[in-house]
A and B are shown apart, each in its own frame.
Chain A
Amino acid sequence: MITALLRRDLAQFFPFTGSGAALPVVFFVAVAMLFPFAVGPDANLLAKTGGGVVWIAALLAAILPLEKLVARDIELGFFDQLRLRGMAEEAMMAVRLLAHWLSFGPPLVLATFPAAALLKIEGEPFQILVLGLIAGTPGLAAIGLMIAALTASLRAGAALSGLLLIPLALPILIFGAGALARQDQVSLGFVAAISLALVALAPFAAGAAIRAAREN
Chain B
Amino acid sequence: MQAPSPSLIADNLACRRGDRLLFRRLSFALEPGAACHVTGANGAGKTTLIRAVAGLTTPYAGEVRRIGALALLDERTGLDPDLPLGRALAFWFGLDGAADAAAIMTRLRLDALAEVPVRYLSTGQKKRAALARVLGQAAEVWLLDEPLSGLDTASQGLVSALVREHCAGGGIALIASHQPLDVPGMTSFAIEDFAPAEQEEEA
User: How many chain A residues touch the partner (CB < 8 A)?
Assistant: 18
Stretch at the interface among B68-76, B150-158, B170-178: B68-76
Q: How far is the CB of A33 from chain B (nearest CB, A)?
A: 30
Residues of B within 8 A of A19 (CB): 82
* Chain B 50-91 interface residues, beta-carbon cutoff 8 Å to A: 51, 54-58, 70-72, 74, 76-82, 91
Residues of B within 8 A of A215 (CB): 57-58
Stretch at the interface among B31-39, B92-100, B102-110, B187-195: B92-100
Q: Fill in one digit per residue for A9-28: 1 if any B CB lies within 8 Å of its CB, else 0.
A: 00010000001000000000
- Secondary structure at the B interface, as helix, strand, loop or mixed, is loop
Residues of A within 8 A of B96 (CB): 85
Q: Which residue of B lies closest to A87 (CB)?
A: B95
A76–B80 touching, CB < 8 Å: yes
Known contacts A81-B72, A215-B57, A215-B58: A76-B95 contact under CB 8 Å: no
Known contacts A77-B76, A77-B77, A78-B78: A84-B71 contact under CB 8 Å: yes
Q: How far is the CB of A128 from chain B (nearest CB, A)?
A: 39
Residues of B within 8 A of A84 (CB): 54-56, 70-72
Q: How far is the CB of B45 from chain A (nearest CB, A)?
A: 15
Residues of A within 8 A of B80 (CB): 8, 12, 76, 78
Residues of B within 8 A of A214 (CB): 51, 56-57
B91–A8 touching, CB < 8 Å: yes
Q: Which residue of A lies closest to B81 (CB)?
A: A76
**Interface status of A90 (Cβ within 8 A of chain B):** no
Residues of B within 8 A of A83 (CB): 55-56
B91–A76 touching, CB < 8 Å: no
**Interface status of A186 (Cβ within 8 A of chain B):** no
Residues of B within 8 A of A80 (CB): 54, 56, 72, 76, 78
Size band of the interface chain B makes with A: 20 to 34
Q: Which residue of A lies closest to B16 (CB)?
A: A215
Residues of A within 8 A of B137 (CB): 85
A81–B82 touching, CB < 8 Å: no
- Give the complex CA separation of A78 and B78 in angstroms: 4
- Give the complex CA separation of A19 and B82 in angstroms: 7
**Interface status of A39 (Cβ within 8 A of chain B):** no
28 contacting pairs across A/B (C-beta < 8 A): A1-B95, A4-B91, A8-B91, A19-B82, A75-B76, A76-B76, A76-B79, A76-B81, A77-B76, A77-B78, A78-B80, A80-B54, A80-B72, A80-B78, A81-B72, A81-B92, A81-B133, A84-B54, A84-B56, A84-B70, A84-B72, A85-B95, A85-B137, A214-B56, A214-B57, A215-B57, A215-B58, A216-B18
Binding site for A on B (CB under 8 A): 18, 51, 54-58, 70-72, 74, 76-82, 91-92, 94-96, 133, 137
Q: Closest 5 CB pairs between A and B?
A: A77-B76, A81-B78, A19-B82, A77-B78, A84-B70
Q: A4-B95, A84-B56 are in contact. List 19 more A-B contacts (CB 8 A).
A: A1-B95, A12-B80, A75-B76, A76-B76, A76-B79, A76-B80, A78-B78, A78-B80, A80-B54, A80-B72, A80-B78, A81-B78, A81-B92, A84-B54, A84-B71, A84-B72, A85-B95, A214-B51, A215-B57
